[in-house]
Amino acid sequence: MNEPRTIVTNPAKLMDGRPLARRLLDGARAKVEAIRAATGVTPTLATVLVGDDRASAVYVRMKRRRCEEVGMKSVAVELPQGTTTDELVAEIRKLAADPTVHGILVQHPVPAPIDKRVAFEAIPIEKDVDGVTSATLGRVILGLPAFASCTPKGIMRLLAEYRVQLDGAYAVVIGRSPILGRPLASMLINAHATVTLCHSRTRSLPSIVRNADVVIAAVGHPRFVQGGWIKTGAVVVDAGYNEGNVGDVDFEGAYEPASLITPVPGGVGPMTIATLIDQTADAAALQLGVRLDALGAAGR
Ligand code: NAP
């Protein structure tokens, strides 16, 4: 594995997620205010954290903080290590039935032996603001309106912001998880890219990646995608987030051939949380019958 080296980056090459995420959060704040003005109700996100994984606790805290920053309420449900699937499902059902809760986020990974899929499926689609249910994924595949999984939706927004041409492009997604690689591949297909979805059994991965106009790494292995795999001029999106603020792409190696590349941190990560908050505001508006059209482009 290459050791990281310091490189001088050209800001024009970086797909910076922070300003776009900020705009999205500003828009969410406007939506929250409009909903409160129309109904007197404060949009509310319930976060469910099971067990004592430190990283998960940090992520949940960050999400709760972002909620409060835009004037939303967050309800924290914390369950001990050893919680069973049935107990978790019972908690989710309570939130599902609670009309003051508009979005439900179950922080994952959930500790074994909980059946994550069973827990996710207990979230009603209208409150599935993190896009984890099979019903949501089905809608995403078909290109129907949905609160899609936040990381892939955030990536699509980032690609649009930087005017990356997807129509006719060859995109390679590495990773096929139900919350990231799979929905992202569908979104790219719906944007008229030709997509290859790779995973741990894929043969000759480097030679597949070498042909890609757009490379998306969602693997979970630090600096997995090597600079030598990247075609000159390719757009590289690193969804990875590993210990030590390291992505799934060898940034230093990929920077030179890439025409655009996301930094880690500051690329995909901020877009994920901002998308979650934005979708929670939209979910509240839908459940409360508030039309947000009047907010215009800035609030959407
Ligand atoms: P995951 O569920 O563990 O899935 C990883 C995927 O990578 C699997 O499909 C796996 O293939 C594939 N893979 C593993 N080793 C591989 C190899 N040697 N060659 C090719 N493919 C390989 O992970 P995830 O939840 O999708 O997350 C992926 C990355 O995104 C992680 O770094 C995670 O931290 C990050 N992430 C970031 C955010 C954010 O907000 N920035 C949010 C979510 C996740 P198989 O299916 O064959 O096992």
pLDDT in tens, 153-191: 999 999 999 999 999 999 999 999 999 999 999 999 999
Burial of 187 by CB count in 10 Å (0-12 exposed, 13-18 middle, 19+ buried)? buried
Query: Which residues' Cβ are closer than 6 Å to ligand 1?
Result: 151, 174-177, 179-181, 198-202, 205, 218-221, 239-242, 248, 268-269, 272
- Alpha carbon distance 257, 182 (integer Å): 26
pTM: 0.95
pLDDT tens-place string over residues 262-279: 999 999 999 999 999 999
- Alpha carbon distance 195, 101 (integer Å): 37
Burial of 78 by CB count in 10 Å (0-12 exposed, 13-18 middle, 19+ buried)? middle
Which pLDDT value is given to residue 299? 40
Which pLDDT value is given to residue 2? 52
Chain-wide mean pLDDT for the chain?
95
CA of 152 to the centre of ligand 1 (A): 12
127 labelled catalytic: no
Which pLDDT value is given to residue 78? 97
175 DSSP 8-state letter: -
Element (H, E) at 170: strand 170-174
How many other C-beta atoms are found inside a 10 Å radius of the C-beta of residue 33? 15
How many other C-beta atoms are found inside a 10 Å radius of the C-beta of residue 99? 9
Which pLDDT value is given to residue 297? 43
- Alpha carbon distance 53, 58 (integer Å): 9
Which pLDDT value is given to residue 10? 83
* Of 218, 219, 160, 224, residue with least CA distance to 193: 160
63 labelled catalytic: yes
Q: Given the CA of residue 239, which atom of ligand 1 is nearest to it?
A: 30
Which pLDDT value is given to residue 300? 40
Nearest protein CA to atom 22 of ligand 1, as residue: 200
How much of the chain, in percent, has pLDDT values that exceed 70? 96
Is the backbone of residue 173 left (phi > 0), alpha (psi -120 to 50) or beta?
Answer: beta
Do residues 297 and 162 lie in contact, with contact meaning Cβ atoms separated by under 8 Å? no
Strands 103-106 and 170-174 come out as: unpaired
CA of 216 to the centre of ligand 1 (A): 11
